Structure 1
Amino acid sequence: MFKRVSLFLLTNILIVATISIVTSLLGVKPYLTAQGINYESLLIFCLLWGMGGSFISLLISKMMAKMAMGVQIVELNGPYHELVATVHRLAKKAGITKMPEVGIYNSPEVNAFATGPSKNNSLVAVSTGLLEQMNQDEVEGVLAHEVAHAANGDMVTMTLVQGVVNAFVMFFSRVITFAISQALKDEEGRGGLGFFAQTAVIFVLDILFTILSKPIVMWFSRYREYKADAGGAELAGKQKMIAALESLVRYQDRIMTDDSNMGTLKIADKQSIMALFSSHPPLEKRIQALKTSN
C-alpha cells in the first residue's frame, strides 16, 4: 500500500511551489529593477508570499486533516460521549473558551493529533487503534497532550516558523536564479535564462531549499513536544502523561511500520536515522524529561 508523506510538509511545499509558478507566469517581479535586484523589495515580497502561503495551509488544516485521515466528528450525545467529555473538560482547564471538535479516524496505529487555525478553532482526533489499545488513564494522557498543543497555540507558532522559512526559501531561490541568469549573459548583456528556464530553476530551487530547511522546522517541532508533554502533565496529571508515553513505547514497533500522516501534529512519530528530520523526540527522552520535572 502506498505510504502517504507528511501532509504538513507536502502542503507547504505545494503552496510555495504553486505561488512561485503563478508569480513567474504572471510576471510579478516587483523586486527586479533595471539595475538588478532590489533586495529590500525582494525580502518584503517573499515575506508576504511565504507567510501568506503558510497561513493558507493553517486555515485549511482542519479540512485537510478530515479529508486525508477520514476523520469522523463525534458528539457529546453519541456513542463516544466520554471521549468528547474528556476533551472538553481538559480544554476548559487549559483555558480554551470554544471547545475543540473531537474526531475519530479508522486506523490500527496508536496515535492522535491536534490541528486547526487557533486554540478556539481546533480539532483533536484519535485513531481507533489508540482507543482499542489504551486504557482510560492512558487515553486521557494522550488527549491532554493534544489539548496542550491547542492551548499553547502550537498550530499558529508552527505556521509562523514555517512562514519565515518559506520566505527565506523564496528569497534565496530567486537570488540564485538571478545570479545564474546573469552569469550566462554575454559581455553585451544578451542571453541568460529565458522565461521558462527561469521559472523551472526557481521551481526546483524552491522545492530543494524547502527540503533542506526542514531540520529547522523539525527542531522547533521537537521542542514543542516537550512543552506539550509538560502541559499534558498539568492537565491530566504527570502519571497519566507518563503512562500514555510508556504505552506508546510498548506499541512503538507497530507505530514505526507506518509512514504516518500528520506526523508533525501527532503525539508519536517513527524514529528516523536522520534525527534532524524527526518531528518528535524519542519517547524514552520524553518520559525521562517528565520524570525529572518538578
Structure 2
Amino acid sequence: MFKAVFLMIGVICTGLSIAFADYWLSKLGLKELVGAREYAVFFWAGGIALTGALSTWYLANDMAVWSVGAEYVKSDEPSLANIQALVAALSLAAGLKHQPKLAVYPVQDINAIVVARSRRSSTIAISKGALDRADDSQMRAIIGYCVTKIASGEIIPLLLLQGVVMAFTLFPTRMFALLLGTSLRTAEEDTPSDTIERVLTAILEVLFLPFTALLIRYYSREIENRADRRAAAILGADRFKTALKTLESESAPRVFRESYALPHKFGMTKLPRLWLLGFHASYGLRAQRLDV
C-alpha cells in the first residue's frame, strides 16, 4: 500500500515538475538557455501526458470501483459462490492465469464494468440488476465478454491512451491560444494577456474535445467487437448472440450510463443516448456485428 502511494506521489510530482518547467526556469534565470516562451508548451503538454497516462493506468481498478460505489466481493462469500466459480471457469477458458477480482455496484441496469491495469491485476464489477435478473446464459455472456477483453490485453493501452490523447488535445489548444495571444501584442516587448490566453484555451478545448471523444470511441468499440468474437468462440456463437439479444430486449435503449471518456464509469447520472458519447454499442448492435 505504502509503495503504491509513494509511486503515485512520485509520478504526480514528476508530471507537475515538467508541466511547470517554464515557471521554474524563469525563477532560476535559465529560461533563455532552454528556449523561448513558446517552447515551454512542450514541457507543459509532456507533464500532463505523463501524469494523466500513468495515474489513470495505475489507479484504474480502484477508481472504477470507487466511482460507481461498488464493493469488492470476498472470495469466501457464499451468496456469490456460483458467480465466483463462473468467473474462474471462463477466465481459465480465456487463457487468464490470474482470476479477476469481482465487485458489485448498486445499479438496477443489467450491466458490468471491466477494467484492467494488466492481465495480473483486473476487476470485473457486476451490477446488482444483473445479479438479480440475468439468467445463466446472459451472465455467461456478460462475464465471458469481460474476461476475453482482459485476456486480449487491449484494454490496457486504452487506459494509457487517455493521458496521451489529453496531451494532444491540450497541446494544440495551448499553442493556438499562445499564438493568438501573441498576435495581440502592440509592441515587441509587450506581454500577451494571460486572461485572454486562458479564455482562448477554454474555448479551443471545447472545440477539440469532440475529436478526442471520437478517437476513444472508435478504439473502445473496436476492442469491444474483438472481445465479443472471442467470447462467442468460447461460449458458442449462437448461444452468445441469443444472450445479447435477450439483454437488448431487457435494457432501456434510449438511456445509458456513460458520462465520461474513460474505460470505466464516472458518475451514474442517466443521460440521453448520444451517438458521440456512445463508447459502447448496444447489445443488439453487438449481436449484429457478429454476423459480419
- Using the size of structure 2 for normalisation, the TM-score is 0.78
Aligned partner of 2:99 in structure 1 is: 99
Counterpart residue number, 1:84: 84
Cα deviation digits, residues 88-144 of structure 1 (max 9, x gap): 111122222221101111211110110131121000111111122221111011100
> 2:4: which partner in 1?
none
> 1:24: how far off?
5.4
What are the superposed Cα offsets for residues 38-62 of structure 1, whole Å, 9 maximum, x if unpaired?
Answer: 4xx7557634531431221121122
1:16-37: per-residue Cα shift (whole Å, max 9, x none)?
xxx79x9459726899965553
Identical amino acids, percent of aligned pairs: 20
Asked whether the 8 Å contact 1:221–1:264 carries over to 2, the reply is: no
Unaligned stretches of 5+ in structure 2?
A: 1-14, 265-269
How far the C-alpha of 1:157 sits from its partner, in A, is: 1.8
Superposed CA offset, 1:191-246 (max 9, x none): 4123x554554455446533442111111111111111012112322233213311
Counterpart for residue 285 of structure 1 = 285
Instruction: Give a deviation string over 1:233-272, Cα, whole Å, max 9, x none.
Output: 123222332133112211222x643534678648xx9883
Matched with 2:177 is 177
Tell me how far apart the structure 1 counterparts of residues 260 and 44 of structure 2 sit (CA, whole Å): 29
Aligned to 1:164: 164
Residue number in structure 2 paired with 1:272: 273
Structure 2: distance between partners of 1:149 and 1:82: 21
What corresponds to 2:10 in structure 1? none
Q: Is the 8 Å Cα contact of residues 256 and 273 (structure 2) preserved in structure 1?
A: no
Contact 2:254 2:273 in 1 (8 A): no
Aligned to 1:232: 231
Higher RCO (CA < 8 A, seq sep 6+): 1
Relative distance call for 1:150 and 1:262 in structure 2 (3 A) is: farther
Q: Partners in 2 of 1:263 and 1:187 — Cα distance?
A: 42
Partner of 1:141: 141
Structure 1 distance, partners of 2:163, 2:179, is 24
Partner Cα separation in structure 2 for residue 75 and residue 258 of structure 1 = 29
Give the letter for the 1:272 counterpart: R
Mapped to 1, the partners of 2:245 and 2:216 lie a distance apart of 26
The letter of the residue matching 1:155 is: I
Q: 1:149 deviation in Å?
A: 1.4
- CA distance 1:36–1:86, change in 2 (3 Å): same
Asked if the contact 1:140–1:240 (Cα under 8 Å) also holds between the matched residues in 2, the reply is no
User: Cα gap change, 1:263/1:250 in structure 2, threshold over 3 Å: closer, same or farther?
Assistant: farther
Q: 1:81 and 1:156 mapped to 2: Cα distance?
A: 28
Counterpart CA distance in 2 for 1:66 and 1:119 is 17
Are the counterparts in 1 of residues 158 and 263 from structure 2 also a CA contact under 8 Å?
A: no
Within 1, Cα distance between the matches of 2:150 and 2:247?
21
Contact residue 271 and residue 282 of structure 1 kept, 8 A: no
Question: What's 2:267 paired with?
Answer: none
SS of corresponding position for 1:114: strand
Q: Distance in 1 between matches of 2:259 and 2:202?
A: 25
Cα deviation for residue 83 of structure 1 reads 0.4
Partner of 1:250: 249
**1:219 pairs with 2:215:** no
Residues 94 and 45 of structure 1, relative CA distance in 2, 3 Å threshold: farther
Structure 1 residue runs of 5 or longer lacking an equivalent are: 1-18
State the distance in 1 between where 2:171 and 2:261 align: 27
Q: CA RMSD in A?
A: 3.4
Q: TM-score, normalised by structure 1?
A: 0.77
Aligned length: 268
- Contact kept, 8 Å, 1:73 with 1:102, in 2: the verdict is yes
Secondary structure of 2:290's match? helix
Q: Corresponding residue for 1:210?
A: 209
Give the Å deviation of 1:159: 2.2
- Is 1:37 aligned with 2:38? yes
Q: State the match for 1:10 in structure 2.
A: none
SS at match of 1:192: coil
CA 1:264–1:213 in structure 2 vs 1: closer, same or farther (change >3 Å)? Answer: closer
- CA separation of 1:127 and 1:35: change in aligned 2, threshold 3 A: closer
Q: 2 CA distance for matches of 1:247 and 1:167?
A: 41
State the SS of the aligned residue for 1:104: strand
Match of 2:240 in 1: 241
